[in-house]
Amino acid sequence: MDEQLTVGEYLIKVLYKNNIKHIFGIPGDYVLGFYDLLNKSKIDIVTTCDEQGAGFAADAYARINGLGAVCVTYCVGGLKILNTTAEAYAEKSPVIVISGAPGINERKKYPMLHHIVKNFDTQHNIFREVTIATTVLDDVDTAISDIDRVVDAVVRYKIPGYIELPRDMVNKKITLSRLWWNISKVQSNQLVLQEALKETIDMINFSKKPVVVAGVEIQRYGVQNLLLELLDKTGIPVVSTPLSKSVINENHPLYLGVYEGAMGYEEVREYVESSDCVILIGSFMTDVDFGNSPTPVDQGKTINLGSSRFLIKYHSFEDVNFQEFIEKLCKSKLIKKHNLDKKLIDNLTQKNRNFINKISNKMINVDLLFQILNDFINENNMVITDVGDSLFGGLDLFIRRGTEFLSPAFYLSMGFAIPASIGAQLANPYLRPIVVVGDGAFQMTGIELSTVAKEKLNPIVILLNNDGYRTERTMLDGHFNDISQWNYTKIINLIGKGKSFVVETTDEFYQALTKAEQNSEYTLIEIKLDKFDASKALKRITDSFRTKVRQ
Amino acid sequence: MDEQLTVGEYLIKVLYKNNIKHIFGIPGDYVLGFYDLLNKSKIDIVTTCDEQGAGFAADAYARINGLGAVCVTYCVGGLKILNTTAEAYAEKSPVIVISGAPGINERKKYPMLHHIVKNFDTQHNIFREVTIATTVLDDVDTAISDIDRVVDAVVRYKIPGYIELPRDMVNKKITLSRLWWNISKVQSNQLVLQEALKETIDMINFSKKPVVVAGVEIQRYGVQNLLLELLDKTGIPVVSTPLSKSVINENHPLYLGVYEGAMGYEEVREYVESSDCVILIGSFMTDVDFGNSPTPVDQGKTINLGSSRFLIKYHSFEDVNFQEFIEKLCKSKLIKKHNLDKKLIDNLTQKNRNFINKISNKMINVDLLFQILNDFINENNMVITDVGDSLFGGLDLFIRRGTEFLSPAFYLSMGFAIPASIGAQLANPYLRPIVVVGDGAFQMTGIELSTVAKEKLNPIVILLNNDGYRTERTMLDGHFNDISQWNYTKIINLIGKGKSFVVETTDEFYQALTKAEQNSEYTLIEIKLDKFDASKALKRITDSFRTKVRQ
């Protein structure tokens, strides 16, 4: 191959080949040369108000698109997105972080270049803690394999990677010494796989009341259809978790609801915790998902299949590839049809779909808000919630299609939702985001509505204004849980674009939603709530929360 | 001693004893118990919109107060302030980072607790890279010495430290086994010190045209008066640097101006670079301070005294304590009075003080803006600038008293100025901040004016609206340097407090400044500038910038 690309051009080519059509970030002098290259490429640059916004947007983009990228300058940009990269790590979102850096040559002349913290390794060392693979592109001879290695690991493990690009390397020529990048396939050890498969199938076949807990890795690894095949074949009911909500179509006749320990519906909790065979597929046993329950799931009754662990009861298997195993399991002809209590299952599945008649003439509260929203959402929406009661209430919403509920339900970083809606809608422009966000989170990153407007996106933002950090008030209250009262709807005047409404009654909420639906711009709907109002879910876990804070 | 304190109470006691009267942060469940303790203490909790704002505020507070503290929750809070902690590290600002964390006991039960990234060491490992000392308070027997060690190192080295407080440790009792905390004094090796002192004095005495470059460590270590003694005794002229501007009273008859390589006044540059004895005191040789010069300072003619390095020409001395050496040098009777070219010095010192007559009836531009501002500022102000032309132009301002010019002039993190004004004014309520900030930086953290209003502070914020990242346009332009045009003055309607003005002419600027001065609230003055207008300083370095970006 004679084609001569530069390091920067090759990186862009690999990104584009892996479906990156948008990249998020803010330029700075150490990354300007690469921005110039990006600008000439097919990848759109999406600049945000603050780097934090770019980080959240890239994370959301990655969750929907299968890969995301954020591009920033050295340290003053990179360290601002450490939290969002940590979030992507914790929740398995494949984000590539590209950071500009001082040129290799200028490092020799001035050890104290601007943006340097301790030395030239500081940022790299830090990112090692929140990524699966890293590289500093300081060598034209290895640039291809370095880039390939990082992108390969990110795509394979669904964990962020870090690429540092010194500014004097961007335009250095490389020679293409091998074929274009391809994801290498990891093969299982077939002896281990066969033993594990037999034991799994036996345990399922001999169980009386099996249940599948469908985790977020089902979406990350794209095995939704295999799971559906398994359910159809066996008749085993399925639940999701806070982090994986909407991984399975909530219309599915075997879908029971979200399992979330003591926080969720009592009937769903009971069903799972009384099962004699809990099949966890791609699900992490986090405190949010599994915590706070009086009768937690008994490990002696679980099969726990995931990309980085495989346990049956108390023993584990190594060298079993997650995707390969799921495929073998779901397509197995040895797995039998279960005859389960259909009435019980039907009762549970119907519970999620309890639509309501119009609720007129009432003051709005959190419960009514989510009930009305449940009725409003349709298959052309995706739901993105921030942390706190936005999430707790949002979990009770009925989501009609796969992969359209986004929330940092395990890492729980506030400020996610509004910038995430940018990445999410750019990744899937066919679904209009419904964003549910509290006032505390809105004060952190709500200003990114400016980027929403710049990119001509049109989320409907439901702002729960309850005058502070409501979830914390449940745990331990003090003036530190109060925040300044803003005139939130005035943000459209500051930004110069958008529509806004203030809602105090159910009728006003219906009207605002209708107008928002007709409006082609983003729309902010501020819901005035009582300071101590809360969702049913939050009320259910109040006591448990209190105990933990004061240990 | 019989008094029984808890771990949390002891930490608060040490902070308060070290002059911490305000602590910045946002609560979260892992840190709520400690917030409750803080709330009952004499330390005021200052919550901000986003943790980033708290980080910048604590950094500014530390620079003025001698110690600052920021208190956040685990990871989702802590990792948001990594950039501001890195800034404090790079620019030697003594900030204590306190992070809540999962309880030691709950870690055993659930390895996957919310906010966890990789494992329970992740955040601690990351903060090691940007701090001088760290501790996880997991043991009541060592809690006292762990806290003392970190606070001691922060105060001694003026570098941030990290204290992680698991939530089940906050209320655990400790026994006070020794006296209250006291900073240990580091002693120099007297043999080394004597040799270094003799050589330093000889080199100064034999030089023909010595000059002192007064660095930021003079302020951090509180040796301003010793420096003044040295200047008075020797008649040697002095310059500051971008990072240390205002470390010496700019009215001083020997003060020549800010040395900033090719960026600064040509006469100041020439004076320093033609000196046969450049005495750097507590100054880092950064690219911002010393870069971009055609005839850089010759190391063979320098004495470089600092807290972490001591070089004379090309040889170095170890084990010499900075403060002790400065004291010995400045008080030495062997150092002689120099007879320097008084006329040349007077010419240079007068250059800074060129006040202007009223400039009426002109459209405003960056140069006029800083000229008018120079005339407006008085001894009751401090000046805080953000990064970019706010800083470049700000360096030409004439600052009338010590320690009232604040800027991240080396680390150059955008978004510093507005949250920094919160920490700065709380640390010194007697000076009213003049904040100079660009539109790009304003979109990052300008929303913290909400916190400004909540805390009843009253900075005068001068917003340079030039429609994008102006400094980058100089280097390499593209649409990525554009930002959305906001109606900036509408932010007061969103926040519900404050005054604002839009300025397009010099007369309007005079009027706005007069009204701002009379107004007891914070005031935002938006200056409409041409997209390509720039300060003289930025124009001087345009070519050098361009070359570096395209290497």
The confidence score (pLDDT) of residue A178 equals 57
What would the pLDDT profile of B421-462 be if each residue is shown by its tens digit?
999 999 999 999 999 999 999 999 999 999 999 999 999 999
Question: Which residues of B, range 115-174, sit inside 8 Å of A by Cβ?
Answer: 115-118, 122, 125-126, 129-130, 167-168, 171
Tell me whether A108 touches chain B (CB under 8 Å): no
Calculate the dihedral angle through the C-alpha atoms of A102, A106, A112, A113, rounding to the nearest 10 degrees: -40
CA distance A494 to chain B (A): 5
Looking at beta carbons, which residues of chain B come within 8 Å of A122?
86, 129-130
Give the model confidence (pLDDT) of A103-128 as tens digits.
999 888 767 788 888 889 999 999 99
Q: How distant is the Cα of A389 from the closest Cα of chain B, in angstroms?
A: 14
Q: Do A114 and B75 touch (CB under 8 A)?
A: no
Q: For position A177, what pLDDT does the model report?
A: 61
Angle formed by the axes of helices A7-17 and A32-39, to 10°? 50
Cβ contact, residue pair B52, A52, below 8 Å: yes
CA distance B49 to chain A (A): 5
Minimal-distance CA residue of chain A relative to B127: A126
CB contact under 8 A, B476 and A33: yes
Please enumerate in sequence order all residues whose Cβ is within 8 A of that of B531, keeping only pairs 6 or more positions apart, or say none.
B466, B467, B468, B470, B473
CA distance B471 to chain A (A): 9
Chain B residue numbers with beta carbons less than 8 Å from the beta carbon of A39 are 478-480
- Touching check for B495 and chain A: CB below 8 Å? yes
Chain B residues inside the 8 Å CB shell of A475? 29, 32
Residue B182 has pLDDT above 60, yes or no: no
Hey, are the CB atoms on B494 and A496 less than 8 Å from each other? no
With residue B540 as reference, give the H or E element that holds it.
Answer: helix B536-540
Domains in chain A (CATH in brackets) are 4-175 (3.40.50.970), 190-351 (3.40.50.1220), 366-549 (3.40.50.970)
Q: pLDDT (tens digit, 9 = 90+) per residue, A455-491?
A: 999 999 999 999 889 888 888 889 999 999 999 999 9
Rg (CA), chain B: 24
Which residues of B fall within a CB distance of 8 Å from A411?
Answer: 75-76, 114-117
Q: How many Å apart are CA A75 and CA B85, to the nearest integer?
A: 11
Average pLDDT rounded to a whole number, residues A297-312: 91
Tokens of A388: 């706190």
Q: Of chain B residues 389-448, which have a CB less than 8 A from chain A?
A: 410-415, 443-445, 447
| pLDDT score of A235 more than 80 | yes
Q: Does any CB of chain B come closer than 8 Å to the CB of residue A52?
A: yes
Q: Which two tokens stand for residue A17?
A: 């080949």
> Taking the CB of residue A274, how many other CB atoms lie within 10 A of it?
14
pLDDT exceeds cutoff 50 at B2: no
Both tokens assigned to B43: 């330390």
Percent of chain B with pLDDT over 90: 74
Backbone angles phi and psi of B520, in degrees to 5: -90, -10
Q: Look up residue A203 and give its amino acid.
A: M
User: pLDDT tens for residues B212-223?
Assistant: 999 999 999 999
Residue with tokens 């029971």: A256
Share of chain A above pLDDT 90, in %: 73
A160, with CB counted inside 10 A (0-12, 13-18, 19+), is buried
Residue whose C-alpha is closest to residue A86's, from A128, A130, A56:
A130
Instruction: Identify from A449, A473, A484 which residue to disrupt to test chain B contact, counting B C-beta atoms within 10 A and taking the largest count.
Output: A484
Other C-beta atoms lying within 10 Å of the C-beta of residue A331: 12
Q: Between chains, do A291 and B487 touch, taking CB under 8 Å as contact?
A: no
Q: Which of A121, A129, A130 is nearest to A164 (CA)?
A: A121
Closest-CA distance of chain A to residue B128, Å: 9
The answer to whether A384 contacts chain B (CB < 8 Å) is: no
Question: Could you give the CA distance from residue B416 to residue B378 in angstroms, rounded to a whole number?
Answer: 23
Per residue in A481-530, pLDDT (tens digit) is 999 999 999 999 999 999 999 999 999 999 999 999 999 999 999 999 99
B24 within 8 A of B61, measured Cβ to Cβ:
yes
Q: How far is CA A389 from CA A366, A470, B43, in A?
A: 9, 7, 30
**Smallest CA–CA separation between A551 and chain B, in Å?**
5
- Judged by CB atoms closer than 8 Å, whether chains meet at B493 and A488 is answered as no
CA distances from A384 to A199, A426, A428, B89, B454 (A): 39, 14, 13, 37, 30
CB contact under 8 A, A287 and B86: no
Over residues A529-543, mean pLDDT = 84
Contacts of A287 in chain B (CB under 8 A): 110, 112-114
A491 in contact with chain B, both atoms CB, cutoff 8 A: yes
Where does residue B232 rank: exposed (0-12), middle (13-18), buried (19+ CB within 10 A)?
A: middle
Taking alpha carbons only, the member of A59, A35, A37 closest to residue A47 is A35
